[in-house]
Structure 1
Amino acid sequence: MSLIKNIALLIVSPKMGWEEINLSGYPTHKVLQSGFYPMLALLAISSFSLMLYDPTAWTLSKTLMHAIVEFSSYFATYFLTSYLLGSLYPEIVKTATANARLNNFIAYNLIFLVLLEIFNNVLADGFSPIYFLLLYTFVIVYKGLDYINMKDEEKKTKFVAVASMLMICLPLVFRWTLEKMII
């Protein structure tokens, strides 16, 4: 099954999506090269649609800086989340295979969040139901616990909360910081 079908299935049915991702066995570099990085490129391109809605507020230079900020925030989030989850939960990264699974887990979850951000850019004035879909990240993360072999029942709830909040909040923190520095 292709990577795009995996992403679509993950969004429609997280449990079946994670099962299919497990069966497909894509290595991390393939998930990043064929899924995550192209989505980041689409995110940056979608930032230019803001110029269509308000050309006086969104000049070319401001829009270009906004595109760079959005790209950079999710790019940095991937690596920082991978490092933090690997440090906080060393039992899920004991082997190279387990580490690759964690990285795939993070990449697929961030692809969902990047898609939401793309829709937010393309739709005029921030379509508020998209913000509620951020909560769906908790469901996707929870259904993916078997994929990363999280067996400890006591740590599952905490892991879902920590992983979801890292993936939702870190891009916002990076974006806020970079916008203060650049724009």
Structure 2
Amino acid sequence: MGARFVADTTPYEERKLWLLNGGHSLLAYAGSLRGHTTVAEAVADPACRSWLAQWWREASRHLGFAEAELAAYRATLVERFANPRIRHTLAKIAEDGSQKLPVRVLPVLRAERENGRLPAGAVRVLAAWVLHLRGRGTPVRDGTAPPAAGTLREAARTVLAGLDPALAHDVPLVDAVAAQARELR
């Protein structure tokens, strides 16, 4: 597909942020918990690949593109992610999650919550990040991340509050992030 001239680039920016970058964040945190060090290793893992597909389904619901166009974009991303010659390390992607997750994951999370859904894909990214901040997976390099101390529920609440104070009051979300973190451990 060639270049397009469009009046509004926002949908294209959101598609990149949510599908490519959000997918990278999911793989960085959840993939490193499974012992992977690169995007290619993580996307080759059937569990990580399934989690990625789930995240993409959630994010795609909130993008204003035809499903055929989104499917083609996701297929291109899978090909790119699986390319072992592109040595994109999970440790590098995982850096500064406190700055990245608000634009990569939270818009989808908010849209899903506004539609009455508790999005498993977004919850998984956040749960894996909680575990990351507790020293699991790749080393933590994030100067502004909130502490993830206490029980998993306390950690989930604190970490969510650090991203957006309103999220700490969403009890079903806090409980879901804590439960998913227990599963991922």
TM over 0.5: no
More helix by share: 1
User: TM-score range, shorter-chain basis?
Assistant: 0.3 to 0.5
TM-score by structure 1 length?
0.34
TM-score by structure 2 length?
0.33
